[in-house]
Amino acid sequence: MVGRLASLRVKLLVAMVVAGGVGLGGSYLLISRLERADERSADRQKALLTARVIAREAASGATRNDFNSMQKVLLNDRIHVLRGRKHVYDGPPNPRPVELTVTAPYPGGKVILADHTSSSPSGALSTAKLTAIAAVLLTLVIGVAFVVATLLIRALRAPIQRATEAARRVASGDLGARIGPLRADEFAELGSTFDNLVARLEAADRDQRHFLADVAHEIATPVNAIRGFASAIADGTMKSGTERAEALELIDSQGRRVDSLLRDLRELTRLDLTDSVRVDRVDVDRLCRELVARFRPDSAAAGIELQFEGVPTSLGGFRTDGRLLETVLDNLLSNAVRYTRSGGRIQLSVTDGRAGVVFSVRDTGIGIAEKHRTRIFERLYRVDEARDRASGGSGLGLALAQRAARAIGGTIELESEEGVGSEFRLVLPSPQREHDRL
């Protein structure tokens, strides 16, 4: 890039010199033509005036001697006087070429004046002087422009080299490369934007590495447990029927845990790889009641009361992607059941307001500490890892819910207090209903 700038400077200089030469040549020709045209017009007017004076003398009866006297004065002109068709007087021949000829009539004849005046060298001299002055000025302009271009290239060389080197390092995998501060406003903005971009790439790469490490750990833990219990059963370490039954139950539970993790990973990957949202009419009341019915056995077994207030009649024609809406509510309810103690309560409610439709899942569970609230939507992040693993959670539920919510244009809000409970709200603004299309 820097080499191209230097080459551009040379090309700019050549272009300015060529353009200046063409301009000077064209200016010289144009000025010469204009001066010759002006001079020819002035000579014609002068010759015509002289011919008219001679015509008046001829009309008043001037003799040949009178015409000779006039011819002696007009050294560069040749006088021809005619009366009728007869030449009364012809001046002596002039060896120089005729520049112009004018005619002045008088009663009974006419006077023809041939101008043999050669081009004045003073006109060519003035044209040359003007062209020389223009050439000097043009040379100064080219020199100044070349100096400015050189200074500009020197000012651009360092930041461009730094940006190129940083980009090359990033392309090779070094996400720690930065351009750093630059002085010019435009380059400072470029450097800041580039550094912010690389910082985000670095953070994304770090998060991806952590995510892959966490996934490997999440899969390795139940797999090791399955292998351990299976080996114990196979080699006869567990001999009693009770021990074998417990081992098989643990193998089954760990298998379900792996299956749940893989299912959530597939769903999250599907949401990341596709932006397709199938909007259709959704029976919100029916969807919510089906979800409550699905979670009621688990909540009842855990001693938790699950409540649903019903859906406003205004949502009868609500349009969204029902599959993604179900994904959000399913994960919010699952999260609430997992972290609510026995004797607690979970409430699902739907409201239709000016801001849009709000789906609320409120529980009386353990709550979430403030330091965790900004991170609980990260993949595989756990507030209480031991409790979450014991409950069989994959750590992807809230990440799935947030990704699905964004896909349908919604946001998830959270209010929580430790030891009191939490409320997750899915807000879908500006809902479209079928009657809006009528």
Residue 386: what pLDDT?
38
Residue 362 has pLDDT above 90, yes or no: yes
Fold type of domain 278-437: Heat Shock Protein 90 (3.30.565)
The dihedral formed by the CA atoms of 207, 209, 215 and 220, expressed in degrees to the nearest 10? -150
425: part of which helix (H) or strand (E)? strand 421-428
Residue 232: what pLDDT?
78
- Choice among 177-191, 361-375, 401-415 with the minimum mean pLDDT: 177-191
One-letter amino acid for residue 308 of the chain: F
Question: Is residue 181 a contact partner of residue 163, using CB atoms and an 8 Å limit?
Answer: no
Q: Which residues pair with 133 in a beta bridge?
A: none
Residue 363: what pLDDT?
94
Express each pLDDT in 135-191 by its tens digit.
777 777 777 777 777 766 666 666 667 777 777 777 776 767 676 666 555 556 666
pLDDT, average across residues 8-17: 67
One-letter amino acid for residue 331 of the chain: N
Q: How confident is the model at residue 211 (pLDDT cuts 50, 70, 90)?
A: low
Residue 434: what pLDDT?
42
Provide the 3-class DSSP secondary structure of residue 243: helix
Tell me how far apart the alpha carbons of residues 365 and 383 are, in angstroms, rounded to a whole number: 13
Q: Which residues pair with 82 in a beta bridge?
A: 87, 110
Residue 100: what pLDDT?
82
Write the Ramachandran bin of 413: left for phi over 0, alpha for psi from -120 to 50, otherwise beta. Answer: beta
Burial class (CB in 10 A: 0-12, 13-18, 19+), 243: middle
Express each pLDDT in 34-67 by its tens digit.
667 777 787 788 888 888 888 888 888 888 888 8
Number of H helices, E strands in the chain: 9, 12
Residue 433 has pLDDT above 50, yes or no: no
Residue 165: what pLDDT?
75
More confident residue, 152 or 105: 105
Residue 380: what pLDDT?
57
The first and second tokens of residue 436, run together, are 């809006």
More confident residue, 178 or 301: 301
Residue 346 has pLDDT above 60, yes or no: yes
More confident residue, 327 or 205: 327
pLDDT, average across residues 389-400: 62
More confident residue, 437 or 246: 246
Q: How confident is the model at residue 384 (pLDDT cuts 50, 70, 90)?
A: low
**Size of the chain, expressed as the number of residues it contains:** 438
Residue 277 has pLDDT above 70, yes or no: yes
pLDDT, average across residues 414-435: 78
What pTM did the predictor assign? 0.48
Fold type of domain 190-270: Helix Hairpins (1.10.287)
- Among candidate residues 399, 381, 309, 395, the one with its CA nearest the CA of residue 345: 309
Residue 66: what pLDDT?
82
- DSSP assigned state of 346: E
Residue 68: what pLDDT?
85
Question: How is the beta sheet containing 280-281 ordered, strand by strand?
Answer: 280-281, 318-320, 432-433
Residue 1 has pLDDT above 50, yes or no: no
Domain locations in the chain?
1-174, 190-270, 278-437
Which residues, at least 6 apart from 89, have a Cβ–Cβ distance to it below 8 Å?
64, 67, 68, 79, 80, 81
Look-up of token digits 């309810």: 333
- Among candidate residues 207, 133, 150, the one with its CA nearest the CA of residue 381: 207
More confident residue, 214 or 174: 174
Residue 426 has pLDDT above 90, yes or no: yes
- Choice among 4-8, 192-196, 430-434 with the minimum mean pLDDT: 430-434
Express each pLDDT in 238-262 by its tens digit.
777 787 788 788 888 778 777 766 7
- DSSP assigned state of 108: T
347: part of which helix (H) or strand (E)? strand 345-353
349: part of which helix (H) or strand (E)? strand 345-353
What is the overall mean pLDDT for the chain? 76
Residue 203 has pLDDT above 60, yes or no: yes
Residue 218: what pLDDT?
62
Residue 437: what pLDDT?
42
Residue 303: what pLDDT?
94
